[in-house]
Structure formats: structure tokens, C-alpha cells
Amino acid sequence: MLFSSIPFLYYFLPIVIGLYFIVPFKFKNLILLVTSLFFYFYGEPVYVILMLVSSFSSYVHGLLIDKYRGTKWAKVLLVSSVVTSLAMLGFFKYSDFFIENVNSIFKTDIALLGIALPIGISFYTFQTLSYTIDVYRGDAKVQRSFIRLATYVLLFPQLIAGPIVRYTTVEEDLTERKHTLENFASGATRFVIGLGKKVLIADVFYEFCDAFRASDDKSVVFYWLYALAFSLHIYFDFSGYSDMAIGLGRIFGFRFLENFDYPYISKSVAEFWRRWHMSLGTWFRDYVYIPLGGNRVPKLRWLFNTLVVWLLTGLWHGAAWTFVIWGLYFALFLVLEKFVLNKFFERIPRVFSHIYVIVAVMISFVVFNAADLAEAVSDIGGMFGALDIPLWSKETAYYLSAYGLLFAVSMIGATPIVKNTVLKLKETKVVGTVINVLEPVTVAVILLLVTACFVNGSFSPFLYFRF
């Protein structure tokens, strides 16, 4: 079931909210668990079992780790938990990728398993891993209620596309959370804004990218427009989903951490990754990078740690060499920045470092979205004039005129300009009153426009479902 769909927005969600606020608090987690299972069952009935097995495994391992705390068995049980979770992720996500590469290297003919990728498995696997690791470290208290732990893992707002919610973030909320009209209103507003970003901006850029792929009249400028369009598409798609998840969480009394912080205003690749998909970046930092030694190690060891983290980051996004190259691409820039580029950018105007980040990120997303390495090389070649195509074409002019306003609006929307302006204006009493009146009207208009798109039958996939 998609958030951006009539069944979710006008049937599932109102029923869940109604049931949730009718029952006493002691049953609220159960309502969320049952409805979350239905939410997932609606799209992938078979893999509900896999999610329950993953949740039960982390629950049992957590109890046993706590029971044998301070003994060697606690570490054995932690290893067992990690291996179990990663084995399930590896089997369902990477089996065919492994077989394909074995066949390619050793000229064998092993049949592919053809396993469908369970939606959201990368997200909920990382959540169960963080739970057992935090229990072992003593950073989280063991959860003795399976319903509460399963509610944390399977909570439908963040189940299928994140953000990656740590157990420690919602530990208290699972047992005691406040429900207020203010939280409900702010959560609903955040949800609708995220829905608008997804449907009214990201989905339109998705159509642009499809039109580019179908075009027989490409040009160098058209390739660059495609790179820009996809970069904006993936930002508004994923940040829009995160807004919806955070908003829904707030409606139900949960406080999820932010997942995006205007990454396109960054002036270094390192800063970009502190602002982009922050829940994933901090997860790898806390559970992989720091345990490997972080940056408090000799340079060669730091290089190794960096390569490992970004290799895993690439693979986390998908079982394909394009994702591996994408991850290592960012590792290369982080190394260059640490030893060379940062000193250089300190001596030049900041606008140049900002342009550098935008171009580097755009190229990375061209690789990210390519069907294979050959297409990635071809696309980058088209951007830099290596193909036998003109600089400009009539079709390029057509699409630029058709989507020009959207490009301009979305580029502004990808910065904090609008948010900061509104907050500044709210400080003025009269203008602030007007904004407070217009805000719910604007939200209602966005909801109407989104609904019109649904009724019109617009295709609205979530890119991050593939992970």
C-alpha cells in the first residue's frame, strides 16, 4: 500500500486513526501492530512472515543477551543476532547478485533463484540490528513485551522506506507517550506537506526522466537537465516520504528524528552526507565506522575504514555494481576532501565549493539511477560531450520550457529560503496572524491537488521501495 494512494489516504489511515484514539492506551500499541501488519500484508502477504521472524529473533536475542550480560555468552548471542539478521537480508537481497558474479567469474551456469525483494527489508533489518546491539552495549533496556518491540519494528509510518528509527529514539514512547491536538495538527500538516513534495514535485520529475529515456533527440544540455531532474526527484521523493513518516509518527505520539537537512546547500561532500539520509549515515557511523576505529587511527587504517563503510553504503542501496561504484565514488571524494580539497576550498569563494558539490552529487545520481554500468558510462559521456550528439536540440528546448517553472520552484524549495522567510515573517504580529490563517488553507489546497492527481490515475511509485 502506498502513502500516495486513495486506499491509504481515505480508507486505511482514517480507520487506523479512529481505532487508535478510541481504545485505551494499553491497547494502542496492539492496534498499531495489527494495522501495520495489515498495511504490509496488503502489498506483500507472504513476507509478513519474514518480518515477524525478524522481530521475534531480535526479541529473543535481546532477552538472552540481557540474561547473560557480563558473560561470554552475551557476545555469542550478539553475534548470533547479527548473523541471523544479515543472513536473512543477504539471502533475499543479494543471492542472485552473488550467483550472477560467480557465473561471470568462473563461467558457471548456476540458476538464479529469482527471489522477489521484500519491501523495506533493508530498513527493518537495520532497526532490529541496532536494537540488539544497543541492548548488548547497555545503551537500551531490554524490551520484555514482544508486542512493544514488534510495534517498534513494524510501525507502518517508517516500515517500508524509513527513516531508520533507533529503538533508543522511541523507547520511552512505546510505554508512555502524549497525545495532544497540537501534535496531531502539526503531524497532519507535516504529512500533507510531504505528500505534496512527493506527488506534486517528485512524481513530475519522474515523468521528465521517463521522457528523457524515451527521447531519440538527446543533447548535451538534455543530459544535464536529466541529471538535475533526477537529483531533485530523489530528494523530494525520499525527503517527502520522511516528512510523511515523521508526521504520521507525531500523530500517534512518536518523535522520529529528522532525516534530511537541506543537503543541496552543502559546501562539501562530507557535509552533504551529514545532511542527506541522516538516519543511514549515523547508523553506519555508530555501528560500523566507530567500531572499526573511526578516524582515531593511522591514515591507512582510516582509508580502510572509509572504504568499508562506503562499500557497505553502496550495497545497502542495492545489489548491483552501479550501487557499489556509487558508494566508492563518495568514498573517493571524502578522501580527496580530507587530504586535498578542503585546504583548496578554504582559499576560494564558497560559491565554487557549492557548485562542486552539486555537480559531484548530480553525477553520482546518474550512476545511481543507471540500469547498469554501461548505461552509467553512456549517460556521463553524454553529459560531457563524449557522444555523437549536439549541444542543444529542439526537444531540449521543449522540455526546458515545459518544466522550467518546476525546476525553478523545486530548486528554491530544496533550500531553507522559504522556511526561514516564513519563520521571520511570523515574528511580526499582523503578518504572523495572516500566515497562521493561511497555513491550514494551504495544506487543504495541497491535499486537494494531490487527490486530483490520484483521481487522474497518476503513477506514484516510491523509489526507495527497492531497498
Distance of alpha carbon 441 from alpha carbon 443, whole angstroms: 5
Q: Are 221 and 391 in contact (CB under 8 A)?
A: yes
Kindly report the backbone phi and psi dihedral angles of residue 359, in degrees, each rounded to the nearest multiple of 5, phi listed first: -65, -45
Distance of alpha carbon 345 from alpha carbon 244, whole angstroms: 36
Kindly report the backbone phi and psi dihedral angles of residue 332, in degrees, each rounded to the nearest multiple of 5, phi listed first: -60, -45
Q: Which of 61, 233, 277, 317 is catalytic?
A: 317
Could you say which DSSP state residue 47 is in?
T
* Residue 333 in grid coordinates: 571524494
Please report, as a single letter, which amino acid is at residue 37.
Answer: L
Please report, as a single letter, which amino acid is at residue 420.
Answer: N
Nearest partner of 129 among 362, 318, 286, 274, judged by Cα: 286
Cβ neighbors of 208 (< 8 A, separation 6 or more) are 225, 226, 229, 233, 399, 403
Nearest partner of 389 among 221, 142, 154, judged by Cα: 221
Nearest partner of 223 among 463, 353, 371, 393, judged by Cα: 393
* Residue 208 in grid coordinates: 521528465
* Residue 161 in grid coordinates: 522506506
421: how many CB neighbours lie within 10 A of its CB?
10
Q: Are 226 and 363 in contact (CB under 8 A)?
A: no
Please report, as a single letter, which amino acid is at residue 464.
Answer: Y
- Alpha carbons within 13 A on the beta-carbon side of 296: 3
Q: DSSP string spanning 161-189? A: T-----HHHHTTTTT-----HHHHHHHHH
Q: Are 326 and 368 in contact (CB under 8 A)?
A: yes
317 an active-site residue? yes
Nearest partner of 406 among 240, 228, 261, judged by Cα: 228
Catalytic residues: 317
